[in-house]
Amino acid sequence: MTALQTHNDPIDIPDGAYVKRPDYARPYVTMSARHRWSKCALSAVLPQLRGPSGPAADEGTSAHKVAEWALAQKFKIGPQGIPAPAVQPPAGLHDFDYNPRGIADWQAQVAQHAITYANEAAGLYSDVGGDTHCLIECVLDTADLCGVKVACRADLVLWNPQAKRLVVGDYKYGRSPVGVGTADEPNEQCAGAAVLWSLQAPHLQPEQIGLFVYQPRIRFGEAFQTLVPSHGATDWLAVQRVALESELVAVAAASASAARGELVDPTPGDHCTYCPSARWCPAAAAFGAKALDVEANRVAVVDWTPEEVMAIWSMRAAFKQFEEDLKERVRILHEKQHPAVTVKWRKGSPMWLSEPAAVEAFMMADRYDMLKPPAIGNAAGIIPDSELAALTGRYPDVPTFAAVDGKNPALAAGSFAKYLNQEKK
Ligand code: SF4
C-alpha cells in the first residue's frame, strides 16, 4: 500500500481541462476504460485529468453519427431513404487535406465505412430468419455490481429472438489496433457489455453469442473482426461474468482503501498508455525516477538479471506514459511562458502544402517514377482484387519480444529498487 497523496494537483493543466475526483463512497467505472481498471484497480480510484476532446475524438464522433444513420437504414429503424447526415472534418487533423476535394473524399470515406459497418453487422444474421432487433448506442448501466456502479454504452447490440443470438459490436475509428480478442481473452468492452445485457435481460438468455469490432482504418490486421465463442453461450457468459465481478471486487476494495487514506499498489503495463491518472500514480513517478538513475549512470541496465530485463521490458508502456506526461507539462509551461523554460528553434523540414497538387506537378513533368502508391488498404475497390493480389505481397513477419512469464510488476519495480539504495560511485 502507498500513502494517499491525491491532492497534489498539477500546477499547470491544459486550457479547458479539469480534474475529476472519485467519490470513494460510490465507486464508479466506465466499461470503455475496462481495459485499464481490470488490470490496475488503482486507476479506478485515482483522480483523473480530463481534457477537452481533440480533433481525432471529434472525427470519431462524426463517424459514429454517420454509422448510426447507416444502421438505421440497414435495420429499417425510423424514416428510410434519407441521405447520410452532413458531417465536416474537425479542424486540426494531422496530415489532412482541407481543400474541397480532400473534404469530399473524407466524407465519402466516412459514409462508405458506415455502410460497410452496417452491412457486416447485418451479415452476422444472414443465416437466420425472423426480425433482428438493432439497439444503437445501447445503454447498459448498472445501479450497482459488486459495490461498483458500471456505466456502459455499447455502440451496437443486436438480438434475434428466434435464433436467440446476441451480438455486441464496437465501431472504432482510431488507427491503433483494438481487436476483438479470443474466447479466453475477449475484447473487454464488448464482453462486458454482453454480461451486462444478460444481467439486465435475464428472460432473454442467448443461446448463441457473438462479438465484433469494426475498425476500418486499422493499420494492420482485419478491419472487421468477429468472435464466436466455441463453447455454449451460457457457459461463456458465466465465465465472463465471474471475471467482471472479480475485477469489480478489486475496484471496490481499492476504493475502500482510498477512503481510509491508503492506495492499493499500482499495476503498470501496456494499459498505462493515456492513463488519465498517471500524474497521481506512484508507479509512473517511481519508474521515472529510477529511469533517471540509469540515465545518470548511477545504475546500469547491464546489471539486471535476464528475468528483471524482461519484467521491465513488459512494463515499458509505463516509461512511455511518463515521457508523454513530461512532454505535455513542458509544452504547457512553455505555453504559459514560465521562466524555467527556454526554447531553441530548429529550422523546420520542408513539406508539401498540398500532396494532390504535388502529384499533379510530377505527372505534368512526366515523372511517374516519383509517385508513391497509397496504402494497400486504400486500393480495395479501385483496383480489381485479382490485380491487387498480383501487385501485393507481405513483408517478412516481425518478431515481437515478450517475457515468458508475462508481466511481473513486482520484479520490475524491485529490480530498480535494489539499485536505489546504492551509494553513488
Ligand atoms: S499509470 Fe498505469 S499503474 Fe498508474 S494508475 Fe494508471 S494504469 Fe495504473
Does 416 have pLDDT greater than 70? no
d(C-alpha 74, C-alpha 122), whole Å: 8
In a domain, 70, yes or no: no
User: What's the whole-number mean pLDDT along residues 79-88?
Assistant: 95
> Rounded to whole angstroms, what are the CA distances from 266 to 10, 96, 189, 258?
20, 39, 21, 13
In a domain, 200, yes or no: no
CA angle 386, 388, 394 (to 5 degrees): 120
Element housing 48 (H / E): strand 48-50
Q: What is the pLDDT of residue 177?
A: 86
The pLDDT confidence band at residue 287, using thresholds 50, 70 and 90, is: low
Overall number of domains in the chain: 1
CB of residue 278 inside a 6 A radius of ligand 1: yes
**Segment 99-158, tens digit of pLDDT:** 999 999 999 999 999 999 999 999 999 999 899 999 999 999 877 999 999 999 999 999
CB of residue 268 inside a 6 A radius of ligand 1: yes
CB of residue 251 inside a 6 A radius of ligand 1: no
In a domain, 278, yes or no: no
Answer yes or no: are the C-beta atoms of 10 and 49 closer than 8 Å.
yes
Q: Report CA(35)–ligand 1 centroid distance (Å).
A: 12
Q: Report CA(397)–ligand 1 centroid distance (Å).
A: 31
**Nearby residues of 74 by Cβ (< 8 Å), 6 or more positions away:** 118, 119, 121, 122, 134
**Segment 13-61, tens digit of pLDDT:** 777 888 899 999 999 999 999 999 999 999 999 999 888 888 999 999 9
In a domain, 300, yes or no: no
User: What's the whole-number mean pLDDT along residues 184-212?
Assistant: 94
User: What's the whole-number mean pLDDT along residues 285-310?
Assistant: 73
Q: Report CA(361)–ligand 1 centroid distance (Å).
A: 50
CA dihedral of 324, 325, 328, 333, whole degrees rounded to 10: -140
CB of residue 407 inside a 6 A radius of ligand 1: no
Pick the residue whose CA is nearest to atom 5 on ligand 1. Answer: 43
Rg (CA), the chain: 25
Question: Which carries the bigger pLDDT value, residue 422 or residue 201?
Answer: 201
What backbone phi and psi angles, to 5 degrees, belong to 375?
-60, 145
Does 10 have pLDDT greater than 60? no
CB of residue 279 inside a 6 A radius of ligand 1: no
In a domain, 187, yes or no: no
**Segment 217-262, tens digit of pLDDT:** 987 789 999 999 877 888 999 999 999 999 999 999 999 999 999 9
**Segment 313-339, tens digit of pLDDT:** 776 776 776 777 778 788 888 888 888
Q: What is the pLDDT of residue 420?
A: 47
Question: Which carries the bigger pLDDT value, residue 345 or residue 320?
Answer: 345
Does 4 have pLDDT greater than 80? no
The pLDDT confidence band at residue 11, using thresholds 50, 70 and 90, is: low
Q: What is the pLDDT of residue 378?
A: 81
Q: Report CA(37)–ligand 1 centroid distance (Å).
A: 9
Proportion of the chain above pLDDT 90, given as a percent: 51
Q: What is the pLDDT of residue 422?
A: 45
| Domain coverage including residue 361 | 355-390
Answer yes or no: are the C-beta atoms of 191 and 240 closer than 8 Å.
yes
In a domain, 98, yes or no: no
Pick the residue whose CA is nearest to atom 4 on ligand 1. Answer: 281
**What is the grid cell recorded at 242?**
465471474
Choose among 32, 29, 59: nearest CA to 43: 29
Q: Report CA(137)–ligand 1 centroid distance (Å).
A: 28
In a domain, 383, yes or no: yes
Choose among 26, 21, 80: nearest CA to 50: 21
User: What's the whole-number mean pLDDT along residues 60-76?
Assistant: 97
Average pLDDT, the chain: 87
CB of residue 44 inside a 6 A radius of ligand 1: no
The pLDDT confidence band at residue 8, using thresholds 50, 70 and 90, is: low
- In terms of DSSP bridges, do strands 28-30 and 149-151 run parallel, antiparallel, or are they unpaired? parallel
In a domain, 17, yes or no: no
Atom of ligand 1 lying closest to residue 272 CA: 2
Q: What is the pLDDT of residue 7?
A: 57
